């Protein structure tokens, strides 16, 4: 019987543009083990099934196709709102550091820290297009690794944060990523005034509608930001003939 060497592989770390792999080769004849740690350079992205994918760069001077690793199955968001993937090998967990952005009504983007190329663009569905600031969350329904085109079923992804007003009454969703890391998702908006509430129709950074509305009662808005409330009331009086006003981004 021919003896064959045994090679085990572990994914031990994910960085913005790289994947760290540990290999342990057991030499069948001598039973000795060789440990090797390799850091592959490449790009992280999401595939059509919302699975995490790493595509390694091709090596110089070789015709071999670069390695591609697809991390099948579900990932989750940890308490610091970072993406985590359990490799299924004991305690091995890949943690991705970055921040969230909302680019369109059906797309949720996670941009990896320190990278200009690596990002996860997930196909999602809003759990509800109507948001209320007191809840401080945006909910998405997402299918991960289901190999289906429809995403009506799957896990719930929840972004937690606080709504803030910026210059020119622009809106932002402020998220805490732990260890003092605060990032904001900024929105433009158009506001419609009701008898005791203001409804904001949100736009992305390019001014395109997101099909998301944020409704604030006058009482809550005054408690959230008294100065913003006064300025909005002033604009309401100035524009009382119109159905709504545009708040500059």
Ordered per-residue pLDDT tens for the chain, 249 residues:
344 456 677 888 999 999 998 887 776 666 677 778 889 999 999 999 999 999 998 776 565 677 899 998 889 999 999 999 998 766 689 999 999 999 888 999 999 999 999 999 999 999 888 998 877 899 999 988 866 555 445 789 999 999 988 777 778 899 999 988 999 999 988 888 888 888 889 988 888 899 999 998 888 888 888 777 777 777 766 554 333 344 443
Kindly list the distances between the CA atom of residue 112 and the CA atoms of 107, 115, 192, in Å, as whole numbers in the listed order: 16, 6, 36
Q: Are residues 118 and 174 in the same domain?
A: no
Q: Are residues 175 and 89 in the same domain?
A: no
- Kindly state whether residue 141 falls inside one of the protein's structural domains: no
Kindly list the distances between the CA atom of residue 127 and the CA atoms of 7, 26, 59, 92, 141, in Å, as whole numbers in the listed order: 44, 50, 43, 31, 6
**Number of domains into which the chain is organized:** 2
The neighbouring-strand residues paired with 73 are none
Last residue of a domain, one of 125, 149, 174: 125
Q: Please, what's the largest Cα pairwise distance for the chain? A: 90
Q: Are residues 48 and 99 in the same domain?
A: yes
Based on the number of CB atoms within 10 Å of its own CB, is 220 exposed (0-12), middle (13-18) or buried (19 or more)?
middle
Q: Are residues 204 and 249 in the same domain?
A: yes
- Kindly state whether residue 145 falls inside one of the protein's structural domains: no
pTM value is 0.83
* 115-151 residues labelled b (16+ CB within 10 A) or e (exposed): eeebbbbbbbbbeeeebebeeeebebbbbbbbeeeeb
Q: Are residues 111 and 16 in the same domain?
A: yes
Which tokens is 101 given? 């952005």
Report the Cα 95 to chain-centroid distance in Å: 13
CA distance 28 to 32: 8
DSSP 108-166: EEEEETT-SS-EEEEE-EES-SEE-TTT-EEEEEE--S---S--SSSEEEEEE-EEEE-
Q: Are residues 111 and 15 in the same domain?
A: yes
Task: State residue 7's pLDDT score.
Answer: 60
Which tokens is 31 given? 């039973």
Domain that holds residue 234: 162-249
- Kindly state whether residue 183 falls inside one of the protein's structural domains: yes
Task: State residue 245's pLDDT score.
Answer: 40
Report the Cα 209 to chain-centroid distance in Å: 19
- Kindly state whether residue 227 falls inside one of the protein's structural domains: yes
- Kindly state whether residue 143 falls inside one of the protein's structural domains: no
- Kindly state whether residue 85 falls inside one of the protein's structural domains: yes
Task: State residue 100's pLDDT score.
Answer: 97
Q: How many residues can be counted in the chain?
A: 249
CA distance 2 to 103: 56
CA distance 203 to 195: 24
Segment holding 221, helix H or strand E: helix 218-224
Task: State residue 230's pLDDT score.
Answer: 75
- Kindly state whether residue 87 falls inside one of the protein's structural domains: yes
Q: Are residues 63 and 17 in the same domain?
A: yes
Q: Are residues 97 and 175 in the same domain?
A: no
The neighbouring-strand residues paired with 110 are 100, 120
Which tokens is 210 given? 């997101």
Last residue of a domain, one of 125, 150, 178: 125
With CA atoms as reference, report the closest residue to 16 among 121, 115, 116.
115
Q: Which residues contact 181 (CB under 8 A, 6 or more apart)?
A: 80
Last residue of a domain, one of 99, 125, 151: 125
- Kindly state whether residue 167 falls inside one of the protein's structural domains: yes
């Amino acid at each position: 019987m021919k003896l064959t060497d045994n090679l085990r592989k572990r994914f031990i770390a994910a960085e913005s543009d790289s994947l760290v792999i540990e290999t342990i080769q057991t030499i069948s004849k001598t039973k000795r083990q060789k440990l090797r740690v390799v850091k592959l350079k490449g790009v992280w992205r999401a595939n059509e099934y919302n699975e995490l994918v790493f595509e390694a760069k091709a090596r110089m001077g070789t015709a071999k196709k670069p390695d591609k690793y697809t991390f099948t199955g579900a990932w989750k968001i940890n308490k610091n709102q970072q993406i985590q993937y359990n490799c299924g090998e004991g305690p091995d967990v890949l943690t991705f550091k970055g921040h969230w952005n909302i680019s369109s009504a059906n797309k949720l983007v996670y941009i990896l820290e320190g990278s200009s190329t690596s990002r996860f663009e997930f196909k999602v569905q809003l759990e509800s297009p109507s948001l209320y600031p007191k809840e401080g969350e945006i909910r998405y329904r997402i299918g991960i690794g289901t190999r289906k085109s429809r995403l009506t079923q799957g896990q719930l992804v929840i972004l937690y944060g606080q709504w803030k007003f910026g210059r020119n009454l622009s809106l932002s969703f402020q998220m805490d990523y732990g260890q003092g890391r605060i990032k904001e998702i900024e929105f433009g908006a158009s506001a419609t005034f009701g008898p005791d509430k203001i409804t904001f129709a949100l736009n992305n950074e390019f001014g395109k509608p997101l099909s998301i509305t944020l409704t604030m009662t006058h009482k809550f808005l005054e408690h959230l930001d008294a100065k913003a409330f006064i300025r909005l009331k002033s604009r309401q009086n100035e524009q009382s003939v119109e159905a709504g006003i545009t708040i500059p981004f």
